[in-house]
Amino acid sequence: MPNKLIRTCFLSLLLLVLLSPIQAQSSSQMPEFDEIGMEELYGDEEFVSIATGSTKPVYKAPAVASVITAKEIKEMGARNLNEVLETVPGLHVGISAINRLDSVFSIRGIHTGFNPQVLILFNGIPFAPPSTGSHPTLFRMPVSSISRVEVIRGPGSAIYGADAYAGVINIITKDASEIDTEIGGRIGSFNSKDAWLLHKQSFAGWDIGFSFEWQASKGDNDRIISSDFQTGLDSNFSLAPGPLSTDYDVFSTLLDLNKDNFRFRLWNWRLVDAGVGAGGSLALDPNGTQNEDLYLIDFTYSNDSAIDEWKLIANLNYIYHKSDSYFVLLPPGAMGFADGMIGNPSGVGQQTGIDLSAIYFGHVKHRIRIGLGARYQEQDTSEIKNFGNGVVPGVLTDVSNTPFVSMPDTSRNLWFVSLQDEWQFAPDWEITSGIRYDHYSDFGSTLNPRVALVWSTQHNLTTKLLYGRAFRAPSFQEQFADQNPVTLGNPGLDPETIDTIELAFDYRPTFDLQTTLNLFGYRANGLIKYVPSGGGTNTAQNDRDQKGYGFELEAKWEATDKIEITGNYAWQYSVDRETEARIPDATSQQAFLNMNWKFFPKWSLYSQVNWVGNRHRMASDTRAEIDDYVLVDMTLHRQKIMNHLDLTVAARNIFDEDAREPSDGIKITDDYPLEGRSLWCELRYRF
């Protein structure tokens, strides 16, 4: 279907959603808004904590925020976090062109291969490995234990510090009060198998929540590329044409203990022998594996009565992350390596943190939040390889604890202090201002302010004007990698910075219809890029500035008591500030439309259409522009069979669309194919 026709159809449907309820009801059927209060109009509003650090209704949050609840996640039939996030306007979950098909959370034209510009939190705690500054490689999060996902598009460094650059994603898990003890399982295409257990109980005054989730798949072997890096070197040894390696085995285990003012959580996320996509060097590698083992322990004390008119919160956290990769970087026989060019880098990253905050609510018009904290991060690197300095070619050699390891062991410490004031200076006006100072031992200090003006323009209209600055800290690899044959670090790097201004409207013309419109513009400075430095190597530099602007439109309509329709459309224009060239690979337009139809008691059908379009190549890439694609999914639910059993049947990519995400164009000339049509069936039993 031509792109113009797709856009026309989608915008027509969205316009129909906007106009139909207004035309369908006479004035006698609609209450006058000046006769109702905000509590009635927004009575079932979702609350969000990510925007200020304290709970506020989404419509009043001083940020462009989205909340996806556990109920909505179940209705859409999402199996992992990526499928949830793809429904958020202005956020596209792509795949990395250079990093093992890892997930890229592309927001408003900020799109890079390692994706460190989006901060992911687990119950408010950042868990990015310091080696990369991004999420763990091939991070795939099951959803059964998730209470809600909060997302802000735009800067968040005034609250969260580093890497809250293009956006922030907060995964909030269920506590014991939200858990129904249940077991569930799912089987489907590509030999995929999922299982989970959720349980709650009380012991000695403690509320205990426990979850265990497992997901595994052999991957879609029809995701074939015709050429790879080895094809360009010597096609006689290339494994292309061949399938991408996309199998995975994921475990997520969470223990949550809660009593009075105390809360303790222990989370373990593991990835076992996962496939490495197109390979570590973009040469097909069916034998390569990726292993990740992450532990996050946090202890929180919260008290709003110890000191009159103050709420005190203290959090101690510790993160242990082990990454172990095995790559056959070039296949057997290539470059004279009988067994192939083999690399086995691994490492252990650790972070210890303390966060203290005090919220003063003793003034009728002000709520003041003071925060301070510190982190210690360290990375220990190990490596076995049969190539490079310090190695007899073809002989596997352990270069750990030698000058020939790809990155030396390193560490940093940082501390921060922040101040925020939420001031209701008039009955319908509130201004949130804040600033945060971060000091890093390796590259220095940053200062990041924010100002947000929220105006309750009418009973059914809220207007927001927002400004914020954010930064992204250089990763250890970008600073200190010195034995990589392709990319080298640079200890002199400065942090990336971005300034963003937004104008947002939340308009609800009827009780059944909610619409939002967000306009934004930004200037990003000092984006880190690997620049050719001679001898075939590339060195990290603060090399590129970027600017962009665009909008996001969203509507949610309860058409009847049985039908709910949601749609969104996002458009962005982002360019290199020096060359004016469009930013490559980023989605310039995307649209999403779904309908949830409860057609019988205990039966529902959830259908969705996702269009991704208008992506551009790098200026030096002579390939044709990247094809747009449309994915259609459907999920059928039957609830409470014999009061305890739920059945779900789903189909993804129903029309088997040849959907593709962009590749680098030099080593992989094809674009990366996404999964073809798939089916799965789920049973969930509640005790």
* Cα separation, 494 vs 446, whole angstroms: 10
Instruction: Give residue-wise pLDDT tens across range 226-247.
Output: 999 999 999 999 999 999 999 9
Whether pLDDT at 23 is above 70: no
Structure tokens at 31: 């209450």
Side chain identity at 668, as an amino acid letter? I
* Cα separation, 658 vs 676, whole angstroms: 7
Whether pLDDT at 331 is above 50: yes
Which residues lie below 8 Å from residue 412, measured CB to CB, with a gap of 6+? Answer: 130, 376, 377, 378, 440, 441, 442, 476
Q: What is the pLDDT of residue 21?
A: 39
Whether pLDDT at 39 is above 60: no
Q: For residues 198 and 180, is the Cβ–Cβ distance under 8 A?
A: yes
| Cα dihedral across residues 634, 118, 538, 497: positive or negative | positive
Q: What is the pLDDT of residue 17?
A: 39
Helix (H, G, I), strand (E, B), or coil: what is residue 66? strand
Residue with tokens 């996002």: 570
80-to-142, 213, 229, 252, 473 alpha-carbon distances in Å: 4, 11, 31, 12, 28
Q: Which of 563, 571, 478 is nearest to 528 (CA)?
A: 478
* Mean pLDDT value across residues 209-230: 97
pLDDT band (50, 70, 90) for residue 45? low
* Cα separation, 66 vs 169, whole angstroms: 10
Whether pLDDT at 587 is above 80: yes
* Cα separation, 53 vs 368, whole angstroms: 11
Contacts of 270-276 with C-beta under 8 Å, sequence gap 24+, read 270/294, 271/136, 271/137, 271/138, 271/139, 271/140, 273/247, 273/249, 274/138, 274/247, 274/248, 274/249, 274/250, 275/219, 275/244, 275/245, 275/246, 275/247, 275/248, 276/100, 276/245, 276/325, 276/327
Side chain identity at 336, as an amino acid letter? G
* Mean pLDDT value across residues 272-279: 97
Structure tokens at 601: 């008691």
pLDDT band (50, 70, 90) for residue 22? very low
Whether pLDDT at 429 is above 80: yes
Whether pLDDT at 40 is above 80: no
Q: For residues 87 and 80, is the Cβ–Cβ distance under 8 A?
A: no
* Mean pLDDT value across residues 402-423: 95
Q: Which CATH architecture has domain 3-686?
A: Beta Barrel (2.40)
**Mean of pLDDT over the chain:** 91
Instruction: Give residue-wise pLDDT tens across range 104-116.
Output: 999 999 999 999 9
Helix (H, G, I), strand (E, B), or coil: what is residue 78? coil
Instruction: Give residue-wise pLDDT tens across range 436-491.
Output: 999 999 999 999 999 999 999 999 999 999 999 999 999 999 999 988 767 889 99
Q: What are phi and psi of 429, to 5 degrees?
A: -125, 140
Instruction: Give residue-wise pLDDT tens across range 174-201.
Output: 999 999 899 999 999 999 999 999 999 9
Q: What is the pLDDT of residue 487?
A: 80
Every domain of the chain and the residues it spans: 3-686
Q: For residues 340 and 331, is the Cβ–Cβ distance under 8 A?
A: yes
* Cα separation, 275 vs 248, whole angstroms: 6
* Mean pLDDT value across residues 354-365: 95
pTM: 0.92
Q: What is the pLDDT of residue 485?
A: 67
Whether pLDDT at 8 is above 60: no
* Mean pLDDT value across residues 546-567: 97
